[in-house]
């Protein structure tokens, strides 16, 4: 008996300070004592935009205000390096990740 496994990515939309919208697929989430983090991959509407993409993961920290979830960049280099290394370790088997 074969089980049908549908791929249903977790998609989020982010609006920057200028009102520009970006769409991302959530690849993974990590919770630590310092907070919750997401590894995001940009979603592109056209093949041309996909080809122009650098392929880099976007890593954000999750915050909450008034019951609303929001995402912001990690300012601290040590915190970013720690979280990025954790995501790379978790995702390297699923994706071709080149560490720079």
Per-residue pLDDT of the chain (100 residues; tens, 9 = 90+): 445 455 567 888 888 889 988 889 999 999 988 899 999 988 877 667 656 766 678 899 999 889 888 898 999 999 999 999 999 888 877 765 555 5
Please give the full DSSP string across the chain, using - where no structure is assigned: ---------EEEEEE-TTS-EEEEEEEEEEEETTEEEEEEEE--SSHHHHHHS----EEEEEEEETTEEEEEE---HHHHHHHHHHHHHHHTTTS-----
User: Cα–Cα distance between 13 and 19 in angstroms, integer?
Assistant: 12
| pTM exceeds 0.85 | no
């Amino acid at each position: 008996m074969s089980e049908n496994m549908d791929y249903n990515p977790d998609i989020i939309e982010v609006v920057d300070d200028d009102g520009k919208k970006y769409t991302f697929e959530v690849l993974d989430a990590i919770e630590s004592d310092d907070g919750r983090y997401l590894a995001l991959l940009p979603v592109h509407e056209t093949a041309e935009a996909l080809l122009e993409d650098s392929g880099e993961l976007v890593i954000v920290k999750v915050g909450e205000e008034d019951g609303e979830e929001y995402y912001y960049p990690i300012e601290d280099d040590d915190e970013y390096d720690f979280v990025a290394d954790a995501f790379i370790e978790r995702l390297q088997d699923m994706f071709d990740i080149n560490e720079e």
